[in-house]
Amino acid sequence: MSWISYFEVMIYFALAVSVSVSADSLEDIKHVVLFMQENRAFDHYFGTMAGVRGFADPNVQVNPDGRTTFQQPVTKQQTNKADQLTPWYINYLGGEWPEATQCMGAGDWGWEHMHAAYNGGLTNQWAATNTPYSIGFFKRSDIPVHFDIAEGWTVGDMYQESVLGSTDPNRIIWMSGTVNNPGTPNNPDGDGNMILDNNASPGCEKPHLNCYPFTWKTMPEYWTDAGVSWQVYQEVDNFQDNMLAYFTQYQKAGKDSPLTKHGKAYLGLQQFYNDAANGTLPEISYIVGPAELSEHYPYLPSDGAWLQKKVVDAVTSSPLYNETVLIISYDEVGGYADHVTPYTAPKDTPGEWIHDPYGMVGNTPVGPGFRLPFSIISPWTRGGHVFTEHADHNSQNLFIEEWLTAHGHQNIRSKEMPPWRREHMSNLLKAFDFDHVSPPFPSS
């Protein structure tokens, strides 16, 4: 089956199971599935997509030197043939390159390299401080399933990583609402411990920095307290991407604790497929896939596409599709470039700006960082829409808060989430069209 025919079949069955949808509020949603992949930037995947803020951006930032953020300076050590590099198609040579570049890396993606690329808001050091491969991009022909999903439902083109940094802090915000940096509600005076990089190990890397394990309250604990059902579906080889395992309360939980049964059990993704098919999904599901399907370099986007197809098929073929939302996101950019300077809080906003504990960039925003691929799959987000509100990983948490509130739940608002994020990051509600009945099932 070709990718094009797969897309046609996928939409056909989504229409088939959604014929009766006439929802007009959040109350009609009964299940939310959160699926996060690894290490890809928006421009890197979707810069050539029509209708989004990509390489045809008419409002591209122009820096004081007259260059746009598409014109990335290079050093003489990198080349003597040019002084700048623009985004380039990775597979321009054709031949066997489309297969070879699937496992290509961009460079580094840690706190220091991402803040170097950000360069105080100039966003002009991707190639110079990382690698020229950072600004290479794919086209539809290279990642057709990703395009099909994004264009078949709703793609967000201003969804940002939560931290200008690597996997762990971004996934920790996804699952807990914060990295506990100074000025946040749980660490107002900076006496607590924060996580900014993938260097978490027993104890602290520096005073109050990357101190493992973590101790603050996570999102699933709020859901448990409210009587909301949830489950992490993960493989044994989960790339250490289930951040709940990094928290003391999960490590110390007994075998019969909901934190253990729902947060640490290795049920496998086949159990998710079974539960979707049988109509027995919990209210909230996390999907943490195996490393080789994560799309993290050197793992292949094409292999990640196989997993995305499996998950989307499971949801759209489920008897629960009429009442289910699937959100597909990525944790961080993985060193790949994006041309849009991150939307961050004003300088010195409490809980958003800190003094760089690594001593490299002085006073700096923690985030939000660069844009990521982001799609929402549901009966209310079909039709190739582009969602443009500023969002980050906490937007998924904000959406769930609004959704659970609509169902009458109380005390499910994270007390750990930084106030600026709560006020300025989208709750995703405007991505949904609850006002129109789904089109009828096609007659032929």
CATH for 373: 3.40.720
Among residues of the chain, what percentage have pLDDT more than 90? 88
Taking alpha carbons only, the member of 333, 290, 334, 283 closest to residue 311 is 290
Residue 381 reports pLDDT greater than 80: yes
Task: Kindly state whether residue 215 falls inside one of the protein's structural domains.
Answer: yes
Task: Kindly state whether residue 440 falls inside one of the protein's structural domains.
Answer: no
What is residue 199's predicted lDDT score, i.e. its pLDDT? 73
Task: Kindly state whether residue 98 falls inside one of the protein's structural domains.
Answer: no
Residue-wise pLDDT tens digits, 69-89: 999 999 988 888 999 999 999
**Residue 116 pLDDT class (50, 70, 90 cuts):** very high
Task: Kindly state whether residue 75 falls inside one of the protein's structural domains.
Answer: no
**DSSP state, residue 133:** G
DSSP 378-397: STTS-SSEEE-S-B-HHHHH
Task: Kindly state whether residue 177 falls inside one of the protein's structural domains.
Answer: yes
Q: What is the mean pLDDT of the chain?
A: 93
Give the tokens for residue 387.
């969602």
Give the tokens for residue 374.
């982001």
Residue-wise pLDDT tens digits, 258-282: 999 999 999 999 999 999 999 999 9
Residue 186 CA, distance from chain mean position: 24
**Residue 57 pLDDT class (50, 70, 90 cuts):** very high
What's the rounded Cα separation, in Å, for the pair 418 and 386? Answer: 27
Phi-psi region of 189 (alpha: psi -120 to 50; beta: other; left: phi over 0): alpha
Number of domains in the chain: 1
Taking alpha carbons only, the member of 160, 199, 190 closest to residue 394 is 160
Task: Kindly state whether residue 291 falls inside one of the protein's structural domains.
Answer: yes
Task: Kindly state whether residue 61 falls inside one of the protein's structural domains.
Answer: no
Instruction: Find the domain containing 173 and state its range.
Output: 3-40+138-332+366-431
- Backbone torsions φ then ψ of 274, nearest 5 degrees: -65, -45
Task: Kindly state whether residue 124 falls inside one of the protein's structural domains.
Answer: no
The pTM for the full model equals 0.94
